[in-house]
Amino acid sequence: MKKEIYEIERKFLVKKLPENISECPHYDIKQGYIATDPTIRVRQADDSYVLTVKGGGIMKKLEYELPLSAEQFEGLWKKVEGNTIEKTRYVIPLGGELNAELDIYKGFLEGFMNVEVEFLSTKDAIMFEPPDWFGQEVTQNPEYSNSSLAKFGIPAKK
């Protein structure tokens, strides 16, 4: 069943790893892009497979998700263009209903880390005060989108 949602998120670089990371749930992700305008992504997260189409936007994007079988995923994976992304995602509670999703990348993006927080409303996103282990905010910088990371690699420091 297709699921249409608005994704409201802010994205940050990582200043330092949080102290409790080893206690947090985590899973491995493999993803690739069939297209980048609009963004069409296939993702495997452990034993779950999803096709995602993302609309334009910076902090708030329209997103369609369609669950896939392993066979459907493998068929679509053959259509992936360019580099693929492999990462481990840690889900870190921030209090209330908020979680940080800390991604530690592997492969050609080895050593890169970022963290995202998803919100229920734009107001909540604007009011959010990041914890001290978060680094520079990159929500507004398209070079840090996963599709751009796959296409161009880690952006040069400015």
Is residue 74's pLDDT more than 90?
yes
Is residue 38's pLDDT more than 90?
no
Q: Write down the pLDDT at residue 18.
A: 93
Average pLDDT, the chain: 92
SS3 content of the chain, % helix, strand, coil (to 5): 20, 50, 30
Q: Write down the pLDDT at residue 156.
A: 85
**CATH 2.40.320.10 applies to domain 3-152:** yes
What's the maximum distance between 2 C-alpha atoms anywhere in the chain?
A: 43
- Select the more confidently predicted residue: 62 or 52: 52
DSSP state of 74: H
Q: Is 115 helix (H, G, I), strand (E, B) or coil?
A: strand
Is residue 120's pLDDT more than 80?
yes
Return the half-sphere exposure (C-beta side, CA atoms, 13 A cut-off) of residue 144: 20
Q: Write down the pLDDT at residue 81.
A: 86
Q: Which pTM was predicted?
A: 0.90
Taking the C-alpha atoms of residue 55 and residue 62, their distance in angstroms, rounded to an integer, is 5
Q: Write down the pLDDT at residue 4.
A: 58
